[in-house]
């Protein structure tokens, strides 16, 4: 991949990472509930989800999912169901005092946060179709594709690591002002609603004709 082409993709990847979506919601939710140091592990899962999508697209399975109505529908509704489930869980989360919330956060393992982040990005067919639409524009078909996919994956991972760190730390700072159960309940329901809204938007996503 030529350097000038990579610079263009690098700029595009920032726009991709900054655009609000399920990943940004997950990062902010984790920052709010677990603080930055623990909540940031959700971002590692989001990154693994992105890499999964890149591998799927690079292997040609993404094109199969996009072309198969059944395959696309199954993956889409799996993603919808997971996002709605996260939203319901967030809505039902008890509004505990911050000390109790901190103690509960320690019970949530880093592995669970990574898995949660991975699920959000890995089962999102919108991401697959997006990569299928965008990535080919930056590929040189006269050169080996594997190194180019490696560069693309690394670039997306870098920008997402930076952007999601910003989202996570921004949300974690909110912890210092959450002093009452009413505040905590409101924030839990706000993020729960955002997760459900993301699921509804994904449910309405259709392949380009």
pLDDT tens-digit map of 135-176: 777 778 788 888 888 999 999 999 999 999 998 998 888 766
Question: Which residue would you say has higher pLDDT here, 74 or 150?
Answer: 150
Is 5 part of any domain? no
Angle at the Cα of 38 from the Cα atoms of 28 and 165, rounded to 5 degrees: 45
Mean pLDDT of 199-206: 73
Q: Quick one: pLDDT at residue 98?
A: 45
Is 63 part of any domain? yes
Q: How far apart are CA 136 and CA 132, in angstroms?
A: 7
Alpha-carbon 84 to chain mean position: 14
Is 51 part of any domain? yes
Residue 191: pLDDT above 60? Answer: yes
Domain extent, residue 122, equals 21-203
Is 42 part of any domain? yes
Looking at the 3D structure of the chain, how many domains does it have? 1
Q: How far apart are CA 132 and CA 207, in angstroms?
A: 11
């Amino acid at each position: 991949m030529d350097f000038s082409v990579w610079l263009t993709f690098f700029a595009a990847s920032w726009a991709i990472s900054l655009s609000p979506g399920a990943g940004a919601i997950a990062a902010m939710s984790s920052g709010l509930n677990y603080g930055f140091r623990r909540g940031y592990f959700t971002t590692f899962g989001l990154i693994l989800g992105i890499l999964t999508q890149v591998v799927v697209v690079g292997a040609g399975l993404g094109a199969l999912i996009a072309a198969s109505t059944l395959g696309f529908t199954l993956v889409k509704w799996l993603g919808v169901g997971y996002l709605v489930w996260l939203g319901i869980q967030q809505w039902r989360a008890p509004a505990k005092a911050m000390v109790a919330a901190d103690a509960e956060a320690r019970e949530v393992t880093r592995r669970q946060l990574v898995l949660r982040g991975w699920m959000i990005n890995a089962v999102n067919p919108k991401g697959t179709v997006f990569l299928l639409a965008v990535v080919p524009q930056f590929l040189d078909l006269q050169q080996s594709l594997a190194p180019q996919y490696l560069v693309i994956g690394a670039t997306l991972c870098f920008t997402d690591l930076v952007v999601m760190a910003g989202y996570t730390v921004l949300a974690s700072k909110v912890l210092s002002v959450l002093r009452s159960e009413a505040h905590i309940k409101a924030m839990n329901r706000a993020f729960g609603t955002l997760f459900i809204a993301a699921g509804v938007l994904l449910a309405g996503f259709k392949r380009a004709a």
